[in-house]
Structure 1
């Protein structure tokens, strides 16, 4: 990396061992991957990048983002948010430096560059949310596609577009990032705490995203920097970043002199990733304690299938032994699992167990009556559409066993991403797109508006715009009651699988 940064020795102390050794990120789901020694992409990028806000290290599933590169979390009271909730002014703290020549400061322009780079196709997952919230962002994404969507990867074209295309709701003023929103958004801090919105140094403009050249020339603003990358997908060595000042970083810490992320163990010992000190919210939660960070599972009716009538889904809801499903998830490798009776995950501040909800183990006597009334007596055969993935396969197998108690044969069949006719019920998995308040992600991906009167999705959007926390909680409770009664999604369970707490989504886009 000569020419990108100075080769300076590190003189500050560190805590822990001299070298930590982890297995690198592995594609595929549990129980297929070697989770105990596996470090996630987000854990690596957390050591190199800075966001305006970030999640402190800890095991509390309800932890909120803290100020990272920002001086403080903005509020109306401290002047960071306007009275109408639509203008945010976020001032950056002094002393954050990029590991580049002359120890260049991290600026508000770097943050703006990072947010603008979410137009790149590799960051497409965040477009619906930032495009909905920030004034002009949706138009910017559309213009990007029109100008560059047909081009081969070309770094100068990307950089010029970002530099010369103005976004009305996003600008840098001195040491302050100014955001103008389309409407108040009480989850904006959660979105800005994702790796997709990490500050991007100007060197990112010189290289194509995710290219080998970018990996070799990546200035760091975190406690470590890249010392060596043998090849794309190969081993990675991190060393202390001499420009990092722990006094300017309230979130991260330095735990070792070197960190090796290897592609294969090769018979040599590796450290357990679960004990790594900078895991943040990737740390497994205690069993049955979730706050928008586990994987939720739902049943839904297939197009034209037997479960389209509400009465069928209502009967299935009372027949399901959710406790057995949760036990099966733990047996398949989940760190913890809990029954779920509402559309919102257990642990969400607005999630409440209803007095008329079915027991965790179901109610066999009532269920048999409801199943018979719905035309699902003994000998019924239903097809279950199951998307690819070993986690979904484990839940599907447990569902087969539970419904067999009622003489119902549930036949799992592979489900294409777009679904398809002839499937009676569909198994859905929702992994929140980010930690904390991911209600916007739930509504967008799992409960899109259908335009009906009293649509729960419209209530959820009111909750996202509410500036008073009490009002927001009340609206989320109303959404959950309406959505749960609707049974478009039949809640099953929430499970916390190792390395699946939105790790790649939350921090996997820091090098756009």
Structure 2
């Protein structure tokens, strides 16, 4: 189907979309993490949505209070399985999924997406090189997925396996709970009922994978040069760390895609080391259409509007302690030390930094892990200080009680952006007032994520403290989206449990919460107790809750921009058109 033959109706707008033009995004984030199986959360998921589809997904809705904005809908699947359409068994643990016909890979020749591709995508999640932070959702839900991951890791012990080795394991071993009935149907068996199953399968990392991916290592430059698309656009040029261009996928058809549109001739991302105000200047001047890689709000006189009831905040930032670090005599393994350090942080000062950053987000001081608006939130602040300004004297006294009256020496790593550097200097100054010497190490996105994602480097003590963030992966029924990935025991690379915190009691409470998910009161009680236990252990220091930036900045010619809660309120690029479609420079 050519551009001129495509439907020209946008259901959320009375305007008639204009076709053509290139949407230009500018900002500081890297653009090379596009292998769906290796990616998790913003900003990559905003781009992955354009070329990789899942069994279920989300429809853009202009009213963020509309339940359809947060309810998984059929994408590659013909329906979301339920007892009403006979897609789910009476015990709520068996799902039969039927695929939509006519969805094609942009291979040569074009080939239909099949149930075998869905299974291949799930198997790729388990590869020991690039496991996504979302993996615990799958291993605790799909029958046999956890064992499959263990067997995969045991079979591939080398740090530098070949693509052939990985493909050989995947093609000779099955996930016990996943069965292909035929090219168009599969069965997924669960360990227990999971009312969030469709939301889990709607994550970008759950994308099907074509057979061609067997020839490449997951997340490798070679794979990124050979990405295949079943969505409205496809990557055609990637210069890692610098730029990305997507163009229309010639085999995509609107009548096979209920969640996306295609109105553009291309989408271009240009990476530039720019602060939010600099990005805003580029958009205001017409040199760019949208920010990339960091939220920037539309100009406003008052605080941004509440984006909608039931849409959860993010924990951003929080401080995580490397509990396995041998540094300072292994002091961070002692919960007494971590509790002491928790009292030192001037959270109000960090909040001021975010308010002045130009991002435009609403922030509030955090005392708990699960933010308001997410299931299982509770009001907690075990380490409150007057005005949230920190208490250096109390920190110093508690450190002395723990046997560190002469203080500590810690290494804190942080991103090399202006805001992250300012935040690191702020909490480092707080700790130094309490007698803790802090060595700051600035890293770019790649180096920081590689360091925090590697359990062996954590055990070697290459870092002690870091600021991180976590956002809800779906709404609602999302009790697990903070506590499970952030604190369940595990040694996988890229785990959201970056400090490698372990406590059997917390693991048992997580299992109890998941096992009673159909009984909200019992499940919530288990989540609440798990959170309190984590905070009593001071595994992390919650610093701020952030409400998403709404409305986000956009250029004057951008039309049809709808924020999507499932993607951190980033705009749905598949629904955008340009008026006028020609680039101003052209």
Shorter-chain TM-score tier: 0.7 to 0.9
Q: Deviations over 1:30-70 (max 9, x none)?
A: xxxxxxxxx94333221111111224446959935433222
Aligned match for 1:331, one of 356, 370, 383: 356
Matched position secondary structure for 2:369: coil
Instruction: Determine if the alignment matches structure 1 residue 374 to structure 2 residue 414.
Output: no
1:139 to partner: Cα distance: 4.0
Q: CA deviation at 1:297?
A: 0.5
Assess, with a 3 A threshold, how the Cα gap between structure 1 residues 233 and 418 changes in structure 2: closer, same or farther.
Answer: closer
The corresponding residue for 2:289 is: 271
**2:232 aligned with 1:223:** yes
2:80 is paired with a residue of what secondary structure? coil
Maintained 8 Å contact 1:299/1:426? yes
SS state at 2:350 partner: helix
Q: Does structure 1 residue 12 correspond to structure 2 residue 20?
A: no
Q: 1:342 is paired with a residue of what secondary structure? A: coil
After TM superposition, the structure 1 = structure 2 runs for residues 156-171 of structure 1, keeping only pairs within 5 Å, are 158-171=166-179
Equivalent residue, structure 1, for 2:190: 181
The question of whether the paired residues in 2 share the 8 Å contact of 1:135 and 1:182 is answered with yes
Give the structure 2 partner of residue 458 of structure 1: 508
Judge conservation of contact 1:396–1:412 (CA < 8 Å) in 2: no
> Which among 62, 67, 70 is matched to residue 77 of structure 2?
70
Question: Cα deviations across residues 440-471 of structure 1 (Å, max 9, x unaligned)?
Answer: 212231675423xxx23321221123231523
Question: What aligned pairs does 1:49-60 form with structure 2 within 5 A after superposition?
Answer: 49-57=52-60
Residues matched between the structures, number: 469
**Deviation of residue 71 (structure 1)?**
2.9
Tell me the equivalent position of 2:213: 204
Q: Is the 8 A contact 1:87 1:179 kept in 2?
A: yes
CA RMSD of aligned residues (A): 4.7
Question: Could you tell me which residue of structure 1 aligns to residue 319 of structure 2?
Answer: 298
Structure 1 residue 251 corresponds to structure 2 residue 259: yes
Quote the residue 2:106 is aligned against: 99
Find the counterpart in structure 2 of residue 389 from structure 1. Answer: 415
Structure 2 residue corresponding to 1:46, chosen from 44, 49, 52: 49
SS in 1 for 2:520: helix
TM-aligned CA distance change 1:120 to 1:23, over 3 Å:
farther
The structure-2 alpha-carbon separation of the partners of 1:199 and 1:286, relative to structure 1 and needing over 3 Å to count, comes to farther
The 5 A counterparts of 1:127-166 are 127-145=135-153, 150=158, 158-166=166-174
Q: Find the aligned partners of 1:305 and 1:386 in 2 and give their Cα distance.
A: 15
Which residue, 350, 365, 368 being the options, matches 1:342?
A: 368
Where does structure 1 lack aligned partners over 5 or more consecutive residues? 1-6, 29-38, 277-284, 507-512
- In the alignment, does 2:285 pair up with 1:261? no
The aligned counterpart of 1:87 is: 94
Contact 2:382 2:536 in 1 (8 A): no
Give 2:119's aligned residue: 112
Residue of structure 2 equivalent to 1:281:
none
Distance between the aligned counterparts of 2:159 and 2:343, measured in 1? 53
Deviation at 1:384, TM superposition (A): 4.5
Larger mean CA deviation between 83-92 and 367-376 belongs to 367-376
SS of aligned partner of 1:481: helix
Q: Distance in 2 between matches of 1:84 and 1:211?
A: 41
Q: Which residue of structure 2 aligns with residue 489 of structure 1?
A: 540
Q: Is the 8 A contact 1:376 1:408 kept in 2?
A: no
How far does the alpha carbon of each residue in 1:454-507 deviate from its partner, in whole angstroms, 9 at most, with x for none? x233212211232315233332223223333443433222457999x9989x9x
- CA distance in 1 between counterparts of 2:164 and 2:369 reads 45
CA contact (8 A) 1:321 1:360 kept: no
8 Å contact 1:318–1:363 — kept in the other structure?
no
Q: 1:155 to 1:410 in 2, by over 3 A?
A: closer
- Looking at structure 2, the residues matched to 275 and 127 of structure 1 have their Cα atoms a distance apart, in angstroms, of 23
Partner residue of 1:431?
470
Please state how far the C-alpha of 1:169 moved relative to its aligned partner: 1.1
Change in Cα spacing, 1:203 to 1:68, as seen in structure 2 (3 Å) is: same
In 1, Cα distance between equivalents of 2:197 and 2:85:
17
Q: Is the 8 A contact 1:386 1:393 kept in 2?
A: no
* Residues 86 and 180 in structure 1, CA contact (< 8 A), matched pair in contact too: yes
Counterparts of 2:348 and 2:129 in 1: how far apart (Å)? 38
Q: Does the CA-based 8 Å contact 1:431-1:502 persist in structure 2? A: no
Tell me the distance in 2 between the aligned counterparts of 1:104 and 1:119. Answer: 25
Partner of residue 362 from structure 1, selected from 365, 385, 388: 388
Q: Which residue pairs with 1:33 in the alignment?
A: none
Q: Separation in 2 of the partners of 1:309 and 1:287? A: 40
The structure-2 alpha-carbon separation of the partners of 1:152 and 1:375, relative to structure 1 and needing over 3 Å to count, comes to closer
| Counterpart position of 1:441 | 485
The 8 Å contact of residues 98 and 219 in structure 1, kept in 2 or not, is answered as: yes
Q: Secondary structure at the match of 1:352?
A: coil
TM-score (ref. length: structure 1): 0.73
Query: Could you say what secondary structure the match of 2:5 adopts?
Result: coil
